[in-house]
Amino acid sequence: MEQSQVSQPATQKKKQEETPLEAFASICGVLVIALFVLTFIFQNFAIPSGSMEKTLLVGDHVLVNRIALAPTTKWAKFIHYRDVSRGDIIVFFKPVIQPMDNGQHTYLVKRVVGVPGDHIHLVNGTVYVNGVAQHEPYAQVAQEFFPYRDDFPDVPPPPESDVTAEWALDLPSHIQNGDLVVPKGYYFAMGDNRPNSLDSRYWGFVPRANIVGRPLLVYWSFKSQEQDYEQTSLTARIGSIGHVVLHFIGDTRWARTFHVVR
């Protein structure tokens, strides 16, 4: 017995091909969505210094979640927000009285050590929060003792140091019984590379409004030096791009690709 076949009607219209205008509209739609995601949800940053080693290395390119730590909004109650917690790694712009000459801010990446109301002090580099010594396996240990840095805030800042003048004046007003007390609406942040980190010990508290988000993962890591990110001339930048192109395969830290930041 022959199997019957169903033939398509001869009058069926062929699928129309996409016109150039429709293709252009589709591309624009994708670009708008991508721009929205990269502007309001995720953002990428490159790590320019070793202050967070070995959690984050110079040359790590991280994807930052701008939503989770953002202030709650009435129009987006469906989005899950949460408060900044002790131990969070945050991206924020450096607390300064005035932004840089071009109106931009300096972005930093540090770990939150103290939240509002916490009492903090260091003894020989060990952090104590509310009287309890903190277990911080990610923190780098100093090989040499520096009084202001390692016994903070017992020792006043030396006359010539990296401590900002504003913080040197404001610091004593936040000390109670040898502890630094974190005020409401502010956070105390430090780099994991404690001996080589200019952090809240040197320029003060991080305002809540300065926090941009928290890094989620390293999407690309390229072997770099801190001076690579200090280049400002056009010639140096072109040379840096050329170096990346020539050494992309060999100097990419492939093992850190999609490394989750904790």
Q: What is the CATH number of the domain that holds 168?
A: 2.10.109.10
| 239 lies in some domain | no
Q: Which of 13-27, 114-128, 243-257 has the lowest mean pLDDT?
A: 13-27
Q: How confident is the model at residue 130 (pLDDT cuts 50, 70, 90)?
A: very high
Number of domains in the chain: 1
| AA letter at 106 | T
Helix (H, G, I), strand (E, B) or coil at 141: coil
pLDDT tens readout for residues 221-237: 999 999 888 877 888 87
| 101 lies in some domain | yes
| 27 lies in some domain | no
CA atoms of 31 and 36, how far apart (whole Å): 8
The pLDDT of residue 208 is 93
| 55 lies in some domain | no
Asked whether residue 218 carries a pLDDT value surpassing 70, the answer given is: yes
pLDDT tens readout for residues 29-48: 655 554 544 555 678 899 99
Q: Which of 44-58, 75-89, 141-155, 243-257 has the lowest mean pLDDT?
A: 75-89
The pLDDT of residue 24 is 62
| 33 lies in some domain | no
Percentage above 90 pLDDT, the chain: 58
| 124 lies in some domain | yes
| 141 lies in some domain | yes
Instruction: Identify each DSSP E strand in the chain by its residue range.
Output: 42-46, 60-65, 89-93, 107-114, 119-123, 126-129, 132-133, 175-176, 179-181, 186-190, 206-207, 211-221, 259-260
| 232 lies in some domain | no
pLDDT tens readout for residues 78-91: 556 678 999 999 99
Residue whose entry in the numeric block shows the structure tokens 């003894």: 123
Residue 219: CB atoms within 10 A of its CB come to: 14
Domain residue limits at 196: 64-215
The pLDDT of residue 233 is 82
